[in-house]
Amino acid sequence: MTAASQHELETEVRITLDKTARVILSGRLDAQTVAGCWNDLQHLRLAAISALEVDATGLTFCDSAGLALLHYLNLGRIAPQAAVSVIGLEPGLNKLFLGFTPADYAAFHRSLHNRRLSLPEEVGNTVRQLITDLHAQVEFVGSVTGKLPPALLDRKQMRWPEVRRVFESAGANAVPIVSLVSTLVGLIIAFESAQPLAQFGAQIYVANMIGLVMVRELGPLLAAILLAGRSASAFAAELGTMKVNEELNALETFGLDPMRFLVLQRIAAGILLAPLLTFYSTFMGILGGVAITIGLGFPLSLILHQLSSSVHLSDVALGAAKGIVFGAIVSAVGCMRGLQTQQGPSAVGVSTTRAVVTSILLIIIADAVFSVIFFFLK
Q: Which residues bind another protein (CB under 8 A)?
A: 31, 34-35, 38, 63-65, 67-69, 71-72, 75, 77, 92, 95-96, 99-100, 104-105, 107-108, 111-112, 114-115, 343-346
Q: Are 10 and 25 in contact, with CB atoms under 8 Å apart?
A: yes
How far out from the chain centre does Cα 333 lie?
15
Q: Which is nearer to another protein, 110 or 155 (CB)?
A: 110
CA dihedral 72, 78, 83, 84 (to 10 degrees): -40
Q: Which is nearer to another protein, 43 or 165 (CB)?
A: 43
Q: Which is nearer to another protein, 199 or 343 (CB)?
A: 343
Q: Which is nearer to another protein, 37 or 251 (CB)?
A: 37
- In angstroms, rounded to a whole number, what is the distance separating the alpha carbons of residues 365 and 160? 31
Q: Least distance to another protein from the beta carbon of 105, Å?
A: 7
Q: Which is nearer to another protein, 95 or 305 (CB)?
A: 95
Task: Report the relative pairing of strands 51-62 and 9-15 from DSSP bridges.
Answer: unpaired
Sheet bearing 20-29, strands edge to edge: 9-15, 20-29, 51-62, 83-87
Q: Which is nearer to another protein, 54 or 292 (CB)?
A: 54
CA dihedral 119, 123, 125, 131 (to 10 degrees): 180
- In angstroms, rounded to a whole number, what is the distance separating the alpha carbons of residues 52 and 124? 48
CA angle in degrees (0–180, nearest 5) for 53-58-64:
80
3-class secondary-structure state, position 61: strand
Q: Which is nearer to another protein, 95 or 312 (CB)?
A: 95
What angle do helix axes 313-339 and 219-227 make, rounded to 10 degrees?
20
3-class secondary-structure state, position 58: strand
